[in-house]
Amino acid sequence: MRRLRKGLLALALVLAATPALAEPVAIVNARLFTMGPAGEVSNGAVVIDGGRILAAGAGVAPPRGARVIDAAGAIVTPGLIAGSTALGAVEVNTVRGTVDNRVGGKKLSAAFDVRYGLNPRSTLIPVARLGGVTRAVVMPDYGAPDEDGGGLFAGQAALIALDGSPDLKVAPGLAMVLDLGEDGAARAGGARGAEFVALRAAFDEVRLYARRRADYERGELRELSLPREDLEALIPVLEGRRRLIVGASREADIRQALKLARDYGLKIVLSGAEEGWLLADEIAAAGAPVLLNPTSNLPTRFETLAASFRNAARLRQAGVEIAILGSDGTHRVREMRYNAGIAVARGLPYADALRALTLGPARIFGVADRLGSLEPGKAADLVIWSGDPLEPASQPVAVFIAGVEQPLTSRPLLLRDRYSPGAALARPE
């Protein structure tokens, strides 16, 4: 153990002194959790170049001219993918001018697109990255239900890279977001029945509009309740080309969501699903993945009376693909790995917990062909850890996004260093 600590210290010093260049890199003597066909490799290597993984596994030799990093037995995993965040879209929740992930009123609903308001210089992005998070799904949100919180849909989600690049490597139109349950009912007039009737009417309108777009353009179609922008945004959802993220907690609401998906051929992803374990087999049979926080175990609302610490384990046992979320969508995104550790303590197998941070969300959002595992051809998003990634005391020793090493710093750390007592004494007058 002492030898491993010394090796990690030396590795950290080397990495800190090395510029973050997109050059060929070989990470050797590593314990790999590839999350791919190679599985866990006790002593392997990863070779990356041009932003991609060239090779990963046992018996992989560094190519000539590559920068070689000796991991000294440290764990290397794919970069973590945060499944539901507001990173880049929210800075301070209570300062409205820094909140760009929600709109009020009824004029824009499904067409609202978070990508246009993203801020690559958000101070929250480096904080999440220090938790090993390399990609994140940014979700739109509603305003408060009692403050004209918007229409039926929250809007469209986007996938971003946490590399601070000006464009954040945004993948737009990833999914449509819809909230059911108590909050959704409040927006629809106060009852769940009203919301489901409105949803079905909206989907019927979208189908009508898609069939008779030319008539709509000529003004020969009856007046529709949704604006044209929302109708256009919902066509890919009805055609199964865009996922529908459905926030639902109560067992009865989840059943209604599954039925809605069957009736309209929707590709849904459940979010929350605190009572999902009660119908885990039905969710699995429907092929509906789940985004969840496994620490939700208290009946904070009437719709979560059956919340359980074992929700994640029971859903995964039934064959449901899950993604484990952080403790909130902004400042505590990095805690997703802590939450995965809690799920392991409540019965979720370790490999499934790590999958729920990497390959699971990649599969759920349709990007597993390029993210989520250490496999040749995939983006070189990976993390070298000081210890078990599910242990809070462990930290990233190095983080690579698309083959580029990222700085292990953040505004909170810089402020700590600047204003700590020792730093104050060292500053010149």
> What six digits make up the tokens of 96?
């409205």
Query: Based on the number of CB atoms within 10 Å of its own CB, is 19 exposed (0-12), middle (13-18) or buried (19 or more)?
Result: exposed
Based on the fold, state whether residues 92 and 116 are members of the same structural domain: yes
Based on the fold, state whether residues 116 and 246 are members of the same structural domain: yes
Q: Is residue 288 part of a domain?
A: yes
Q: Is residue 185 part of a domain?
A: yes
Q: What is the CATH number of the domain that holds 319?
A: 3.20.20.140
> Sorting pLDDT into bands at 50, 70 and 90, what band is 13?
very low
Range of the domain at 245: 81-371
Based on the fold, state whether residues 64 and 158 are members of the same structural domain: no
Based on the fold, state whether residues 344 and 400 are members of the same structural domain: no
Q: What's the total number of domains in the chain?
A: 2
Based on the fold, state whether residues 21 and 109 are members of the same structural domain: no
What pTM does this model have? 0.92
CA 78 to chain centre: 14
Based on the fold, state whether residues 402 and 334 are members of the same structural domain: no
Based on the fold, state whether residues 189 and 320 are members of the same structural domain: yes
Q: Is residue 236 part of a domain?
A: yes
Distances (CA, A) of 149 to 91, 121, 189, 198: 20, 28, 12, 16
Q: Is residue 110 part of a domain?
A: yes
Based on the fold, state whether residues 31 and 97 are members of the same structural domain: no
Q: Is residue 382 part of a domain?
A: no
Q: Is 361 left (phi over 0), alpha (psi -120 to 50) or beta?
A: alpha
- Are 176 and 245 spatial neighbours (Cβ–Cβ below 8 Å)? yes
Based on the fold, state whether residues 340 and 319 are members of the same structural domain: yes
Q: What percent of the chain has pLDDT over 70?
A: 91
**Of all helices (H) and strands (E), which one includes residue 52?**
strand 52-57
Place of tokens 């805690």: 335
Kindly report, residue by residue over 126-142, the tens digit of the pLDDT: 999 999 999 999 999 98
Kindly report, residue by residue over 186-227, the tens digit of the pLDDT: 888 889 999 999 999 999 999 999 999 999 999 999 999 999
Q: What is the CATH number of the domain that holds 410?
A: 2.30.40.10
Based on the fold, state whether residues 161 and 30 are members of the same structural domain: no
Place of tokens 């959002």: 365
Based on the fold, state whether residues 67 and 100 are members of the same structural domain: no
Q: Is residue 402 part of a domain?
A: yes
Task: Note the pLDDT of residue 22.
Answer: 52
Kindly report, residue by residue over 69-91, the tens digit of the pLDDT: 999 999 999 999 999 999 999 99
Q: What percent of the chain has pLDDT over 90?
A: 84
> What six digits make up the tokens of 65?
């001219």
The one-letter amino acid code at 230 reads D
Based on the fold, state whether residues 205 and 289 are members of the same structural domain: yes
Task: Note the pLDDT of residue 343.
Answer: 98
